[in-house]
Amino acid sequence: MIKKTLSKAIKYYRFVQLQKKQSSKVAKYIESLSQHFGRLPATEQKKCMEYCCEVLGSKFYTPYYVLYTTAKGKFIEGYVPQNFYYLCVAPVINGKDRLLANIRHLEPLLFGNSPQILSVANNKVIYNGKVLQQPGDLTQAMRGQDKVLFKLNSSATGSGIEIFNTQSLDINTLRSRSDGVLHEFVRQHHDFNVFQTKSLSTIRVTTVATGNHQIKAIGGFLRISAGNEQFLDGNSDYLFFDLESGMLLQAGLTSQYSVLQGKSSKGVDFYGYQIPKFAEIIKLALACHARVPHFGCIGWDIAVDHQEKLWLLEWNAVNNGISYDQVARGNCFKSLGWHKLSELPYSRINII
């Protein structure tokens, strides 16, 4: 018991040290929001710190809380700081199974609607449960694709992704890669071309399981590239939609939390834009969550292709981002009672 508690304390300490290094980044986010909403008064910042200490267990969570509160101009109860979510909430509401979301080749087995063709694990190329050995086996698996996309299990914000021409791709090249999956190259729905054409626009839908065991969509956004990269990376726009209609709202955010008012970073009007196949997107997210109903909160990344087919690109259950939604939608997670999870012993170690 002592060993287990000590291990948790050590992990928490290491996490705090990492977050200390990132505190300047959160401060820059706050500065970005302040340019639009104005700086949060010192009295309100103090209320944020007191709430984090007394309710969440540490002033360590204050920077994120101030970030969300800045958009409202005054202290409001019920926000869930991203670092508190990662440390105290996700391990409880999603359990150890949350780590399955990092093993990408499980996605088609769990949910379907996946563009995955095959997977690479332990230097083996696996297709339909069989290890491929011959070049001809790989050709058959390509499904007539002219190019494909390889994504590492550890990929994030555009890193760990490669595009291959199928004519030059061979088994040894795949074997040399770390664990990951090979995807069909998804071409986005033509409606998204108004924003950008080089990278794939994606729809994030965040679903939660409520206290009465109902699953509902609670947040989400259309993510588009703000640059000219082939993949969505750290330079993106987050455009929020009405959860009922799928129509884009007037306010959006950049990756650095600068406010967008009806125009993307590239100057394209987005207010009132209708996301295609939106009802089907929400239906897919809810159906996928229903397959793993013991999870409390999941972020689903979904694409609509040029033939109006929906693809589940990935699911996120370890540290799925909830910050952008809280800036745009307010304390939308308050009713879930996640603040009570601060009673975990290691969440109340006040190191800073």
pLDDT tens digits, one per residue of 66-75: 999 999 999 9
Give the span between the Cα atoms of 300 and 15, in whole angstroms: 25
CA 349 to chain centre: 27
* pLDDT at res. 44: 98
Judged on CB neighbours under 10 Å (0-12, 13-18, 19+), 155 is: middle
- The mean per-residue pLDDT over the stretch 213-230 comes to 91
Which pair of tokens denotes residue 56? 């969440």
346 neighbors 109 (Cβ within 8 angstroms): no
* pLDDT at res. 308: 97
pLDDT tens digits, one per residue of 161-183: 888 998 888 888 999 999 999 99
Which pair of tokens denotes residue 244? 């009922």
* pLDDT at res. 304: 98
* pLDDT at res. 1: 67
* pLDDT at res. 329: 96
pLDDT tens digits, one per residue of 146-166: 899 999 987 766 677 888 998
pLDDT tens digits, one per residue of 80-101: 999 999 989 999 999 999 999 9
Summary mean pLDDT of the chain: 90
* pLDDT at res. 15: 66
CA 321 to chain centre: 5
Q: Specify the higher pLDDT residue, 331 or 231.
A: 331
- The mean per-residue pLDDT over the stretch 291-316 comes to 97
99 neighbors 319 (Cβ within 8 angstroms): no
Query: Residue 92's CB: how many other CB atoms inside 10 A?
Result: 14
Q: Specify the higher pLDDT residue, 299 or 58.
A: 299
- The mean per-residue pLDDT over the stretch 36-45 comes to 97
Q: Which runs of consecutive H residues, i.e. helices, occur in the chain?
A: 2-37, 42-51, 62-70, 82-84, 90-93, 107-110, 135-141, 171-175, 278-291, 323-329
Fold of 96-102+189-317: D-amino Acid Aminotransferase; Chain A, domain 1 (3.30.470)
Checking if the pLDDT of 337 tops 60, the result is: yes
3-class state of residue 315 by DSSP = strand
Q: Which runs of consecutive H residues, i.e. helices, occur in 125-191?
A: 135-141, 171-175
Whole-model pTM over 0.95: no
Q: pLDDT class for 344, splitting at 50, 70, 90? A: low
